[in-house]
Amino acid sequence: MLWATALILAGLCGAPLGQYNEEEDLAWLQYYLRQSRAASYNYIPYYEEENPPYVYSYPSGPDAEPEPAPEPQRASPWRCPQECDCPPTFPSAMYCDGRGLRYLPFVPSRMRYVYFQNNLVTSIQDGAFDNATELEWLALHNNRLGSRGVGARAFAKLGRLERLYLNNNNLTRLPGPLPRSLRELHLSYNQISEVPPDALEGLENLTALYLSHNYIFEMGASLKGLRSLILADLSYNRLGKVPDGLPASLEQLYLEYNRIEAVPGDYFRASPRLLYVRMSHNGLTERGLSADAFNSSSILELDLSYNRLRKIPRVSTNLENLYLQGNRIDEFSISSFCSVVDVMNYSRLQVLRLDGNEIKRNAVPPDAPLCLRRASVIEI
């Protein structure tokens, strides 16, 4: 093909074929081929779904008008980084998980769900997501992110972000400021030791907060302004006291595996929707509990196992599951469940665990079956 083109051009230039000098014209031909090859291929780095990846041009004839140079291609909103997958059937999702990445690739503006988990990313610079203002889910768990590597405004422009996964990293503090649109914040399995009062300020849409398996020793009143919060998981930390000012919307509170020794008498009254409370593996004793500390009519499940209790605390008759195993309880007091025992007054308790205590089986009072008539499991 190229030899034919060379011969045609030679004819157009008036060179008779009989005068063709092989050595001179071979040098000319090699020069021509180099020039034409350089002009014919204009390589442009491309991303998936850009078409075409290469721009082709061809030399024009001697009488043709010169072909205008191609305009530079703009970034396509449909592109996808070569390090990731963007399924055509789910064009708003970008999967970059488990690829050994040490950096965050460019996120196209159309993306709403981005998955960077299970990589080796150590930092997020300010502006990393400024182009992706439509993001709703951002998964960054199981990386190597440290607090020094996360820009102060790394998430500032994500005004529609609802779920942020940062668990299993090396963070020592909460990143911020965080988008007010957040509904779920996952920060478990980090190295966070403190939550300042303003760390969660403005997150009025937050419904679930996961901070378990950290080193937090103080929460203060940082939960108080989270008026949509339903679930707070603060288990496996070093809390010496319960968080101040629970929000009224709270339904699930997990505080197991901490160092809590006391609960104020009116502590749960601020959360009339609270259903599940887990405080196992703490240091609770009678000295730190008022008589009605857990007597909340909304609570359905209460786990106080593996503490230092010597008596069964008074609970509401609406309670359905009570776990007290592994304490030091030596008395079965029916008044803890029923203030009055008769046909009309009884406990709704279904499961009662008292095994691993110091109660003897013959210590169960005779009116226990009447009070605990709903119970299907009683372990002593």
pTM recorded for the entire structure: 0.78
Residue 193 within any structural domain of the chain: no
Check residue 31 and give its pLDDT.
Answer: 40
Task: Determine the pLDDT at residue 64.
Answer: 39
Residue 42 inside a domain? The answer is no
Q: Considering the domain boundaries, does residue 372 fall inside one?
A: yes
d(CA 338, CA 270): 24
CA distance 36 to 30: 10
Distances (CA, A) of 144 to 123, 225, 306: 8, 30, 34
**Is the residue at 74 inside a domain?**
no
Q: What pLDDT shows up at residue 106?
A: 92
Q: Is 51 within a domain?
A: no
Domain that holds residue 374: 324-379
* Residue 129 contacts residue 153 (beta carbons within 8 Å): no
User: Is 214 within the bounds of a domain?
Assistant: no
Q: What is the mean pLDDT of each run of 10 residues along the chain (380 residues)?
A: 44 42 43 39 31 32 40 54 94 96 94 98 93 96 96 93 98 94 98 93 97 96 95 98 95 98 93 98 94 95 98 96 97 92 90 94 87 94
Would 337 be classed as within a structural domain?
Answer: yes
Burial status of residue 253 (CB atoms within 10 A of its CB: 0-12, 13-18, 19 or more): buried
Residue 330 falls inside a structural domain: yes
Domain count across the chain = 1
